[in-house]
């Protein structure tokens, strides 16, 4: 898990000037300057890095996934990795 | 009264260098110092019998000009478009502080668009089994992406679009800009074109057309073997005379005539009548008699067919004055830059006026009986140039001629 979190942080860090280690759990990606276009890029990078496919926005919403916070991203990626391995 | 249109800024990048100073320098070098701008592409083929020469921008490293995140959105042709535009705006003393956004247009042409992006992404998806394309692949490959990038960088909110007419794309862009300026739609226009399509796939399909030279570009010369593809961009800042004078802008030349026509004939073979119609239209538009013209920057692609057809067309328009004209093709220096050709060659034409010197046709070996005018072979010639015409005659018979005049 820590390993995955670190990998995700490395990817997300490319799109913000903020130090992700000092991020509070209430801060959203938008708060640290990551716009919707950057989120699309981050999804691409995550798919490439973890060999996963991030579902459509609608499916994410149906399954109650969010990409608002860094923790949400970690949760989503971990779930998708587990689903892939099952 | 119709607005007069003047050129207040020039910018270019090509095999002949990173900016207009480099370009002017190479354009007017004496014969014994002719710049080596056309080189073999060993990356594509080492078979000497096949086409393997091109005019690439030398020592170009995108990372010295753009950040990593910018490069994700910029195909090579859009990078060139921005660099040429940066220079042109700086020359025209225009910045985001004094550009009037809604009274400015961006019209930037390209023949092919984001070829490097198309080719690399398709190769990865279809050949290398990559699962997905980068999300910016589409905005990067669009032929209009360079225009969008220019408008975004400088906050220009007036009419902006791209023109595409193969090798006349940027000449048509300039002609469109003139019409907008004359009509009062805008006061300033950023017009030009960009091309960067020297990729392996594209080079091979051009080879399939059997028009690529197997040695170098020798326009109008005996034993010419075809065209040499180049890459780069050219941008002109055009303004109404009134607007330019009001802000004391530097004026390089006046753009007095535009002519456009179509051959309605053949997708690759040129027709003299179409070229004539475009040149005549530019003269008529400027209300200028043929004998006033001193210099023609010819389309002069270096193919057997184009150069003899263009020669015939010039003779038909200029009649007895044709023999007094200085004619040259600077494609022998910067290659055939397709969608950027009209803009880069307009810059060469304006430089001919400002330097009062005709840039030569390089690599010229000997006279061809079907091309029997003065092509200013190999060595620049001093000449009183009041009017210079720039010709662009594209595949598919899409023609444009632009007429520049020394500003007074």
Q: What is the pLDDT of residues A25-64, one digit of tens each?
A: 899 999 999 999 999 999 999 999 999 999 998 999 999 9
By CA distance, what is A36's nearest residue in B?
Answer: B135
Running DSSP on this structure, what letter comes out for residue B292? G
Residues 6+ apart with CB under 8 A from B344: B12, B14, B23, B170, B232, B233, B234, B330, B334, B337
Q: Is the dihedral of CA B203, B207, B208, B211 positive or negative?
A: positive
Q: What is the pLDDT of residues B304-323, one digit of tens each?
A: 999 999 999 999 999 999 99
Of B245, B75, B81, B55, nearest to B147 (Cα)? B81
Q: What is the ipTM of this complex?
A: 0.83
Of A40, A51, A53, the CB nearest to B135: A40
Q: How far apart are CA B205 and CA B207, in angstroms?
A: 5
Q: What is the pLDDT of residues B175-200, one digit of tens each?
A: 999 999 999 999 999 999 999 999 99
Q: Report the 10 Å Cβ neighbour count for B234.
A: 39
Question: Is B299 one of the catalytic residues?
Answer: yes
* Tokens at B285, concatenated: 């538009």
Q: Do residues B132 and A44 lie in contact, with contact meaning Cβ atoms separated by under 8 Å? A: yes
Q: How far apart are CA B253 and CA B405, in angstroms?
A: 6
Backbone angles phi, psi at B162, to 5 degrees: -110, 150
Residue A85 has pLDDT above 90, yes or no: no
Per-residue CA distances from B283 to B203, B317, B356 (Å): 36, 10, 21
Q: How high is the pLDDT of residue B112?
A: 97
Q: How far apart are CA B45 and CA B54, in angstroms?
A: 12
Tally of residues, chain B: 408
Residue B254 has pLDDT above 90, yes or no: yes
Tally of residues, chain A: 86
Q: How high is the pLDDT of residue B36?
A: 95
Q: Using a CB-CB distance cutoff of 8 angstroms, which residues of chain A are in contact with residue B138?
A: none
Residue B43 has pLDDT above 80, yes or no: no
Q: How high is the pLDDT of residue B41?
A: 87
By CA distance, what is B68's nearest residue in A?
Answer: A14
Strands B326-328 and B295-297, sheet pairing: parallel
Q: How far apart are CA B295 and CA B357, in angstroms?
A: 10
Q: How high is the pLDDT of residue B51?
A: 82
Distance (Å) from the C-alpha of residue B70 to the closest C-alpha of chain A?
12
Of B185, B374, B171, B192, nearest to B278 (Cα)? B171
- Of B167, B197, B217, B371, catalytic: B167
Residue A19 has pLDDT above 80, yes or no: yes
**If pLDDT is split at 50, 70 and 90, which confidence band does B350 have?**
very high
Q: What is the mean pLDDT of chain A?
A: 94
**If pLDDT is split at 50, 70 and 90, which confidence band does B94 have?**
very high
Q: Do residues B366 and B224 lie in contact, with contact meaning Cβ atoms separated by under 8 Å? A: no
Of B72, B132, B136, the CB nearest to A47: B132
Maximum distance among all Cα pairs of chain A, rounded to whole angstroms? 37
Q: Report the 10 Å Cβ neighbour count for B273.
A: 18
Q: How far apart are CA B173 and CA B164, in angstroms?
A: 8
Q: Is A47 in Cβ contact with B136 (below 8 Å)?
A: no
């Amino acid at each position: 898990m820590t390993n995955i979190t670190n990998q995700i942080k490395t990817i997300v860090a490319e799109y913000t000037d903020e130090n992700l280690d000092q991020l509070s759990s209430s801060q959203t990606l938008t708060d640290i300057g990551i716009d919707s276009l950057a989120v699309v890029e981050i999804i691409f990078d995550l798919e490439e890095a973890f060999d996963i496919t991030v579902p459509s926005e609608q499916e994410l919403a149906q399954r109650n996934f969010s990409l608002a916070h860094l923790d949400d991203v970690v949760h989503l990626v971990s779930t998708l990795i587990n689903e892939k391995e099952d | 009264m119709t607005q007069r249109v003047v050129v207040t800024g020039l910018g270019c990048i090509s095999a002949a260098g990173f900016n207009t100073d480099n370009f002017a320098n190479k354009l007017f070098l004496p014969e014994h110092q002719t710049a080596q701008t056309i080189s073999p592409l060993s990356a594509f083929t080492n078979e000497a019998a096949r086409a393997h020469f091109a005019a690439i921008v030398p020592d170009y490293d995108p990372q010295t000009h753009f950040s990593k995140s910018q490069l994700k959105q910029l195909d090579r042709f859009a990078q060139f478009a921005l660099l040429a535009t940066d220079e042109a705006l700086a020359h025209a003393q225009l910045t985001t502080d004094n550009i009037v956004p809604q009274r400015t247009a961006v019209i930037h042409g390209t023949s092919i668009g984001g070829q490097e992006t198309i080719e690399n992404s398709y190769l990865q998806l279809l050949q290398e089994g990559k699962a997905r394309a980068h999300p910016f692949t589409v905005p990067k490959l669009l032929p209009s992406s360079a225009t969008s990038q220019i408008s975004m960088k400088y906050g220009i909110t007036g009419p902006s679009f791209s023109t595409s007419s193969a090798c006349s794309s940027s000449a048509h862009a300039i002609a469109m800009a003139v019409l907008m300026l004359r009509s009062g739609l805008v006061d300033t226009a950023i017009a030009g074109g960009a091309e960067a399509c020297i990729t392996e796939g594209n080079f091979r399909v051009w080879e399939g057309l059997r028009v690529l030279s197997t040695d170098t570009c020798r326009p109008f010369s005996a034993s010419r073997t075809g065209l040499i593809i180049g890459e780069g961009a050219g941008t002109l800042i055009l303004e109404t005379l009134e607007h330019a004078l009001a802000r004391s802008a530097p004026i390089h030349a006046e753009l007095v005539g535009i002519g456009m026509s179509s051959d309605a004939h053949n997708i690759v073979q040129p027709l003299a009548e179409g070229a004539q119609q475009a040149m005549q239209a530019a003269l008529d538009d400027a209300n200028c008699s043929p004998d006033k013209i001193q210099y023609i920057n010819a389309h002069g692609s270096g193919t057997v067919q184009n150069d003899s057809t263009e020669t015939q067309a010039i003779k038909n328009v200029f009649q007895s004055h044709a023999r007094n004209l200085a004619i040259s093709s600077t494609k022998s220096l910067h290659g055939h830059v397709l969608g950027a050709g009209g803009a880069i060659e307009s810059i060469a034409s304006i430089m001919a006026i400002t330097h009062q010197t005709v840039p030569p046709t390089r690599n010229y070996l000997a006279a061809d009986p079907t091309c029997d005018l003065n092509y200013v072979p190999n060595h620049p010639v001093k000449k009183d140039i009041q009017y210079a015409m720039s010709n662009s005659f594209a595949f598919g018979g899409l023609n444009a001629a632009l007429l520049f005049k020394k500003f007074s």
